[in-house]
Structure 1
Amino acid sequence: MLAQRTNLFGSSGTAAARAAAKAAADAGKEIIDLTAGEIWSDLAPTIREGAIEAINRGVNRYTDTVGMMELREALARKVSLDTGQIWKAEEIAVTSGAKQALFNAAMVLLNPGDEVIIPAPYWTTFPAQVLIAGGTPVFVDTRSNGYVPRFEDIKAAVTDRTRAIVINTPSNPTGAVYDVQTLIGIAELAINRDLWIVFDECYGDFVHGDHTHHLIVSVVPEVRARTLIVNAFSKSLALTGWRIGYLAGPKEVINAVRALQSHTTSNPNVIAQHAVLAHLQRGDGSYESKLRSQLASARQIGLHVLSSLTRVPVPKAHGGFYFYLDLSDLMRPTSVGGASPTADDVVNSLLSEAGIGAVSGTAFGDPAGLRLSYGIPPEKLETGLVRLVEVLNVWE
């Protein structure tokens, strides 16, 4: 018999979508996969050089549980620059990707029964990890407000059992970018009600148009004492497989994370640590600029194709590298008294009829949503979206 906690969660919905697309491709079908939350790109030269140098030096030993001191110092300098505040290495924990940083945060902050407010649609891992830690996710619907939560709705969700609020900006899956006033309201609420804020900014390097990514601790410095910043290099350096992320927060939280991580994974991969350190020391920003340019071009291509949608609104895609479609107008019963279709049905049709892999919004708590990644090569993106538009415009 399995532990009861395994009944609280299933496999990641995004991982399941990737697996379905891969299975179709393995079966010989031509698939254009728009499911993956990653950017198709070569490695940054500094990352490659840092890793090779470490291997050539015979680096193969444990590091400090929460990362090499040199790396944590470099990350503290980065966070200091990003926030306009002084951060120290003792306020940084290096983790095996952002997922471990979030897991660590949930495990050291939550007691059984604690409530965590999560704006929806949400990244599927947020509520799963709250449940694993014994907490209760409380969802705040954002669909009627451009996928940015209304402060009044966040405030109304707070109870005596509320322990934390999750902020993910730019948002995965929706691409929504939180405005300053929303962040101010949430920060002041956290201060007044003695709440923690888990601030996931993994897509912070990718904002588009006239939008700006704001860190909540910069907008309201007083909230820093109750904020954990979660970030990773998976997106900003296209290093999804290398599994390097970090958590920045109060020293006492990082000390608890150190103890927890010492009993789970211990230190993150040492070669990946050296690679990221080399980039932080030698990188001149040109690689990041190349990625941003690549995504900006892909976004324009995608928005141009999606402008031909007749029954689905063209997405805003203000941040990150996803197009998030609202399929509400398609989700009507096919006959009188018939069942309403869901985004799962659309995903299945796209895969079988058009060879397009997409992620259903049901993975994100939204049965009428559809997530499409535009991190793939532009020629594949354009071809895939043209096929998708053809299917959705005649969907019945």
Structure 2
Amino acid sequence: MLAQRANLIRSSGTATARAAAKAAAEAGKEVIDLTAGEIWSNLAPGIRDGAIEAINRGINRYTDTIGVMELREALARKISLDTGQTWKAEEVAVTSGAKQALFNAAMVLLNPGDEVIIPAPYWTTFPAQVLIAGGTPVFVDTRHNGYVPRVADIKAAVTDRTRAIVINTPNNPTGAVYDVPTLLGVADFAVNRNLWIIFDECYGDFVHGHHTHHPITSIIPEVRSRTLIVNGFSKSLALTGWRIGYIAGLKEVINAVNAFQSHTTSNPNVIAQHAVLAHLQCGDGGYQSRLRSQLASARQIGLNVLSSLKRVRVPKAAGGFYFYLDLSHLLQPATGIGGLTTTDDIVDSLLSDAGVAAVSGTTFGDPTGLRLSYGIPPEKLRIGLSRLVEVLNGWE
């Protein structure tokens, strides 16, 4: 009955986890939801004021397909500052969230049968969009290397059909921040093999401790002609519901994105565009600083609670706002945890026994992982993680 492509993909695993948490709460259960990839926060003042001003001005018409020119110019200035290179508005397209930016990239770059290298664990949308575009995702396991891909493993996965490599740092779901040698190796290899790099830096504003986020084009400028930068404001400005993202790359690629987007969504939400523009023009960085401080505090609270885990290593949580647990020791047959044999089983048990909602690593191509968001209010985070620790430590 359905098209063949409908059989290639399932609903997002993170969305399914959120739905399960919501259903449990609606059934009367007290649930601490650690599933959502968003930050609990009020709006940035510039966003709020910019949106209200746009509404009061009666701005409600179509814009250019890939965004108002003023916003694209502001984004070009932002990317130039981030990368240390000069970018122009004609190299930037505004999209309805970073998901659309990634979808655009897949649709304008990939031919049927093309392969795309994706480090695993991966954000579930990466392989889904490759499949929709007719490509083939090829996964490179990073679990043995602290969730950072080894360049040698990427090289070994490349074939004559390889078209692109996805680099997501800081990483969702693992929180890994890719180091300079890794980025250098990937960039150099991509240039030599004429491969595209799809560089997703949506969590780039959130790095912790001694770690630093490095835009890949700032490390090897030569890779710029083979790189598409994907970013957005869902994370950095806590605007998940507003759906504003962007993609930057060669003018020829952005022209293709323009044509493609004109037949899908057309322009992104006009009020959201003007709100982000106002923030970029007038924001002093204070909101982002407060948001980073909020997450740093929540991260420390979480690490303190998780330090009580007995047979699960405390995560590094180097970037983003997730704790990613390796439950492999709990899933070994000798542990005897009451018939729970998969992370899906553990997620179900945590929800039913502890009222804690989490996302199974199977969603991200990892049968032993568990993702926990710490973007929620700190008092709820402390309660939720304490319950989780109590349950996991009880399986002995």
> What TM-score bracket applies, with the shorter chain setting the length?
over 0.9
Q: Report if aligned partners of 2:335, 2:395 keep a CA contact under 8 Å in 1.
A: no
Q: Report if aligned partners of 1:306, 1:314 keep a CA contact under 8 Å in 2.
A: yes
Aligned to 1:308: 308
Q: Report if aligned partners of 1:333, 1:340 keep a CA contact under 8 Å in 2.
A: no
Aligned partners of 2:129, 2:65: CA distance in 1, in Å?
21
1:8-67 Cα shifts (integer Å, max 9, x gaps): 000000000000000000001000000000000000000000000000011100000000
| Superposition pairs of residues 157-236 of structure 1, within 5 angstroms | 157-236=157-236
Aligned to 1:145: 145
- Letter matched to residue 27 of structure 1: A
Q: Report if aligned partners of 1:327, 1:370 keep a CA contact under 8 Å in 2.
A: yes
Q: Report if aligned partners of 1:333, 1:339 keep a CA contact under 8 Å in 2.
A: no
- Letter matched to residue 318 of structure 2: H
What is the CA distance between 1:394 and its match in structure 2? Answer: 1.4
Structure 1 runs, 4 residues or longer, greater than 4 Å off: none
1:126-164 Cα shifts (integer Å, max 9, x gaps): 000000000000000000100000110011011100000
> Cα distance 1:112–1:297, how it changes in 2: closer, same or farther (>3 A)?
same
> Cα distance 1:335–1:239, how it changes in 2: closer, same or farther (>3 A)?
closer
Q: Report if aligned partners of 1:332, 1:340 keep a CA contact under 8 Å in 2.
A: no
What is the CA distance between 1:378 and its match in structure 2? Answer: 0.2
Aligned partners of 1:7, 1:54: CA distance in 2, in Å?
42
Aligned-pair Cα RMSD in Å:
1.1
Matched, 1:382 2:382: yes
Q: Report if aligned partners of 1:110, 1:135 keep a CA contact under 8 Å in 2.
A: yes
Q: Report if aligned partners of 1:65, 1:262 keep a CA contact under 8 Å in 2.
A: yes
Aligned partners of 1:391, 1:140: CA distance in 2, in Å?
32
Q: SS state of the match for residue 381, structure 2?
A: helix
| Superposition pairs of residues 42-81 of structure 1, within 5 angstroms | 42-81=42-81
What is the CA distance between 1:395 and its match in structure 2? Answer: 2.2
Aligned partners of 2:339, 2:317: CA distance in 1, in Å?
31
**Number of residues paired by the alignment?**
395
Aligned to 1:31: 31
Aligned to 2:357: 357
Query: Mind listing any 5+ residue stretches in structure 2 that lack a counterpart?
Result: none
Aligned partners of 1:112, 1:11: CA distance in 2, in Å?
22
Q: Report if aligned partners of 2:76, 2:87 keep a CA contact under 8 Å in 1.
A: yes
Aligned partners of 2:372, 2:71: CA distance in 1, in Å?
34
Aligned partners of 1:285, 1:192: CA distance in 2, in Å?
38
Aligned partners of 2:130, 2:110: CA distance in 1, in Å?
8
Aligned partners of 2:140, 2:339: CA distance in 1, in Å?
26
Aligned partners of 1:237, 1:266: CA distance in 2, in Å?
23
Query: Mind listing any 5+ residue stretches in structure 1 that lack a counterpart?
Result: none
> Cα distance 1:157–1:340, how it changes in 2: closer, same or farther (>3 A)?
farther
What is the CA distance between 1:339 and its match in structure 2? Answer: 7.7
1:204-256 Cα shifts (integer Å, max 9, x gaps): 00000000000110000000000000000000000000000000000000000
> Cα distance 1:54–1:339, how it changes in 2: closer, same or farther (>3 A)?
same
Aligned partners of 2:333, 2:207: CA distance in 1, in Å?
37
Aligned to 1:5: 5
Aligned to 1:285: 285
Q: SS state of the match for residue 229, structure 2?
A: strand
Q: Report if aligned partners of 2:233, 2:240 keep a CA contact under 8 Å in 1.
A: yes
What is the CA distance between 1:340 and its match in structure 2? Answer: 7.0
- Letter matched to residue 241 of structure 1: G
Q: Report if aligned partners of 2:5, 2:132 keep a CA contact under 8 Å in 1.
A: yes
Aligned to 2:254: 254
Aligned partners of 2:295, 2:3: CA distance in 1, in Å?
43
What is the CA distance between 1:333 and its match in structure 2? Answer: 2.8
Aligned partners of 1:242, 1:339: CA distance in 2, in Å?
42
1:280-306 Cα shifts (integer Å, max 9, x gaps): 000000000000000000000000000
Aligned to 1:294: 294
Q: SS state of the match for residue 323, structure 1?
A: strand
TM-score normalised according to structure 2 size? 0.99
Q: SS state of the match for residue 137, structure 2?
A: strand
Q: Report if aligned partners of 1:43, 1:238 keep a CA contact under 8 Å in 2.
A: yes
Q: SS state of the match for residue 292, structure 2?
A: helix
Aligned partners of 1:151, 1:197: CA distance in 2, in Å?
14
What is the CA distance between 1:332 and its match in structure 2? Answer: 1.9
Aligned partners of 1:217, 1:111: CA distance in 2, in Å?
25
